Amino acid sequence: MPLQPELETLDQLLGGDLSLTIIRTLYPSDITFVQGVLGLLFSGDVRLLSPDGNDVPEWQWRKFVTQLVAPPTINNPHLRITDRGVRRIK
């Protein structure tokens, strides 16, 4: 049985940071992608990092995540798994 996309996201992030563009391929639709990634962020399972490696402030998460379902304006934001996220899948 396939993993739900959020758990698959965490599993893939065990290997290292991944761009939101790559993470998007794990989800069946734009809506599930936005909901899933925002859920992982709000639960503290992942961190969203800007192209320069800095944490994106919570008030900007939606802008970064939804850029993939609209014309892109920001390049290469990526996710990093947190210790909480690692514990969730182990």
The helix/strand/coil state of 21 is helix
Residue 72, number of CB atoms within 10 A of its CB:
11
Predicted confidence at residue 23, as pLDDT, reads: 92
Domain boundaries, the chain: 5-70
Note the pLDDT tens digit of each residue in 33-83.
999 999 999 999 999 998 888 999 999 999 888 876 655 555 678 999 999
Residue type, 37: V
Predicted confidence at residue 69, as pLDDT, reads: 61
pTM: 0.89
Distances (CA, A) of 33 to 40, 52, 60: 11, 23, 16
In whole angstroms, give the CA distance from residue 70 to residue 90: 34
Tokens standing for residue 31: 């809506």
Tokens standing for residue 17: 């940071």
Mean pLDDT on 17-34: 92
